[in-house]
Structure 1
Amino acid sequence: MKQRPPLKMDKCIEFTNKKFSEGLNLAKMLRNYEYQFLCEETSKIFSN
């Protein structure tokens, strides 16, 4: 079975915004490097 490719950034942002959308817009609050870290952490969760 082929390994799934890592999540694309836009998918990560979409997922993150859904998860934390209760009164927060993380896209506006977080800097890019923080988003990148969050995306990497999210990707780890999905790849398990």
Structure 2
Amino acid sequence: MNEQQQQKLDEILKKHEYKSNLVIAIMQDVQKEYHYLPEEALCYIAK
């Protein structure tokens, strides 16, 4: 994952206040951004 992708994921996580109970909404935003759920993104979100 490059730095730009990581920044975008951080923006999405920040939007949802890093709340684990919003993981579905976070994944929906990631899918909206990339048109699929990259494995690297899922691993990053899981942390």
Q: Report the TM range for the smaller structure's normalisation.
A: 0.3 to 0.5
Q: Which has the larger radius of gyration?
A: 1
Considering fraction of residues, name the structure with more helix. 2
TM-score by length of 2: 0.36
